[in-house]
Amino acid sequence: MLPMYRRHRLPAAASLILLAVAGSATAIDSATLASSSLSPDCLAYRVAGVCYWLRCTPYGCKVKTSVKVRHYVPDAVVSSYADTGKNPWREVALMSPANPSAQGGGDSTTNQVNENALLKFKNADVIGHPGTLVFNRFASQFGYSCAGAGSAYMPYLLSSFDFLAWRYNLPEMAYPEALTPGQREVGVAGDLWGSVYPRGGFLQQADDYKAAAVVARSGEPHLYQSLLAQAQPGYWPAGALRENDADSGKWQRLQPDLSMSCAVFPNSEALPQAEDGAYVWGLWRPYSCCKREGQLFLGSTETGS
């Protein structure tokens, strides 16, 4: 009887899965994210200089050289979304479910129409980009390529588990950066998107896209795993992410629509508004490296940009 029981139940389970996928019309999947890493604009590959190595054999030592290259790597996928437990990246949504300390979401409302939707709340998840293998093959077509710090599908920040910092702004509500106007802000005069500190889920911002973009930027002292690589001879990894600074990282819009170019917040593009308040970006960060050609790294020289 057991085989017959399975025959009857499997189609029902499959139907439920199909209904769930169909009901998430704005979801994005891993295959789409992987293909998004094939972007020459985001890669920005260039020859950056020359590295010098000392190679020694039983017959003596020689100075060898190798080309130093610089390019961006898609380290992570950053999701910023209104409804707790509903990450628009469908394959990882179960990583950050709603829990007793983190439920609900959305915007605040009042009885005054002109005051509605100013205080916005967004969850944020930072997860390793799934396109690592596809990207490595793509980047190798340009020449020697550098490894990034991210591991595919690795959760680096899940805000539903970081509820003290994310929902109560503890301890960052008392940071000097949070109390001083003009410090650590995303944007410029006339186009200010919001303040980075305190790095939590709430932001005063009428534009939903801008609110989601600011909330997507997170870090210490949150509950998270570091997304930084260690420097090695002939390898210069990306440093800490800084707002308004392309030399620390740039963003590829993936949801609600897919862009094959990267930009730094703020940018002058038209900002699409997601009906469900869910946005996804690819975080690309710069790395420099050169091929090892000897036992001892002697140094490197830079060429013009």
How far is residue 276's CA from residue 81's CA, in Å, rounded to a whole number? 8
Tell me whether residue 21 is in a domain. Answer: no
Highest mean pLDDT among 36-45, 73-82, 113-122: 36-45
Q: Say what the pTM is.
A: 0.76
Q: What is the DSSP letter of 272?
A: P
How far is residue 294's CA from residue 62's CA, in Å, rounded to a whole number? 9
Tell me whether residue 86 is in a domain. Answer: yes
How many domains does the structure of the chain reveal? 1
- Nearest CA to 264 out of 239, 281, 280, 287 is that of 281
Contacts 24+ apart (CB under 8 A), 235-241: 235/146, 235/147, 235/287, 235/288, 235/289, 236/287, 236/288, 236/289, 237/149, 237/287, 238/73, 238/75, 238/148, 238/149, 238/285, 238/286, 238/287, 241/217, 241/283, 241/285
Each residue's pLDDT tens digit, 180-236: 565 556 655 555 555 555 556 556 555 666 656 655 555 444 456 788 899 999 999
Tell me whether residue 177 is in a domain. Answer: yes
* pLDDT for the residue numbered 246: 85
Tell me whether residue 251 is in a domain. Answer: yes
Tell me whether residue 14 is in a domain. Answer: no
CB 262, CB 283: distance < 8 Å = no
SS3 283: strand
Half-sphere exposure of 77 (CA within 13 A, CB side): 35
CB 162, CB 224: distance < 8 Å = yes
Sequence-distant (≥ 6) Cβ neighbours of residue 88 within 8 angstroms:
24, 26, 27, 28, 79, 81, 255, 276, 278, 279, 280
Q: What is the DSSP letter of 66?
A: E
Tell me whether residue 19 is in a domain. Answer: no
Work out the pLDDT band at 23, boundaries 50, 70, 90.
Answer: very low
Domain that holds residue 214: 27-302
Tell me whether residue 80 is in a domain. Answer: yes
Tell me whether residue 59 is in a domain. Answer: yes
